[in-house]
Chains A and B, each alone.
Chain A
Amino acid sequence: DGGITQSPKYLFRKEGQNVTLSCEQNLNHDAMYWYRQDPGQGLRLIYYSQIVNDFQKGDIAEGYSVSREKKESFPLTVTSAQKNPTAFYLCASSVGQGRDSGANVLTFGAGSRLTVL
């Protein structure tokens, strides 16, 4: 079945450490996204990528980095510069352009919960 796989589901990090969250999709989607979810704040966009080797900052990119070397993969690194990294992280993808019923709809992974000790 096609979908998005995020790993790990739970991750613990000590302060000062970088960690990388994995996101892989087999939907052949062009666009991929990373969102952060905190209680009472909804989903906030960290980074998004429209095509391979290209990505743009979202609303809260500071302290995060991404890469898009393959269409299927969009890993997120939470660096030590992120002051409050404890959160639930959601990866998503979409077909992107077009006006058919499937266009622009986000498909989400199951999420990764990061806790800083």
Chain B
Amino acid sequence: AQTVTQSQPEMSVQEAETVTLSCTYDTSESDYYLFWYKQPPSRQMILVIRQEAYKQQNATENRFSVNFQKAAKSFSLKISDSQLGDAAMYFCAYRSGGGYQKVTFGTGTKLQVIP
């Protein structure tokens, strides 16, 4: 079974600074997808960024980017120019490729943004 590990329960960053959230996963598959989801205090989960394992290029979405290291099974999220609205729980998630598959989540990292 696949597992997703987020070793940082809490992180903090000064407004306008950069922060990196860590995620590692364990799988024997070569075809899969990785995601970062954000859960603000409203508890409405939203997608931040998505990475396909077969793509070597790291995904980026505006101030959010990932560092995908397939051999090391690492998938970190970098938030640049942090804003107060970035304060939330961030969950790393894994999904097998091909067909319908369940999505496995990590335990989350709570990000605090300090004004």
Q: How far is the CB of B75 from chain A (nearest CB, A)?
A: 15
Contact A42 B50 (CB under 8 A): no
A-contacting residues, B11-52, CB 8 Å: 33, 35, 37, 42-47, 50, 52
Contact B43 A48 (CB under 8 A): no
Contact A108 B44 (CB under 8 A): yes
Contacts of A111 in B (CB 8 A): 43-44
A-contacting residues, B34-86, CB 8 Å: 35, 37, 42-47, 50, 52
Contact A105 B44 (CB under 8 A): no
Tell whether A99 pairs with B105 under 8 Å between CB atoms, given A30-B100, A31-B100, A104-B33: no
Interface residues of A toward B: which range? Answer: 20 to 34
Contact bitstring A18-34, B, C-beta under 8 A = 1, else 0: 00000000000011010
Report if B107 contacts A (CB, 8 A). Answer: yes
A-contacting residues, B84-99, CB 8 Å: 91, 93, 95, 98-99
Report if A58 contacts B (CB, 8 A). Answer: yes
**Neighbour of A40 across the interface among B9, B42, B44, CB < 8 A:** B9
Contacts of B44 in A (CB 8 A): 108, 110-111
Q: How far is the CB of B69 from chain A (nearest CB, A)?
A: 21
Report if A52 contacts B (CB, 8 A). Answer: no
Contacts of A48 in B (CB 8 A): 100, 102
Contact B50 A105 (CB under 8 A): yes
Tell whether A90 pairs with B50 under 8 Å between CB atoms, given A30-B100, A42-B108: no
Contact B106 A108 (CB under 8 A): no
Contact A99 B52 (CB under 8 A): yes
Contact A42 B100 (CB under 8 A): no
Tell whether A45 pairs with B99 under 8 Å between CB atoms, given A40-B9, A99-B52: no
Q: A residues bordering B, Cβ < 8 Å?
A: 30-31, 33, 35, 40-45, 48, 50, 56, 58, 88, 90, 92, 96-97, 99, 101, 104-106, 108, 110-111
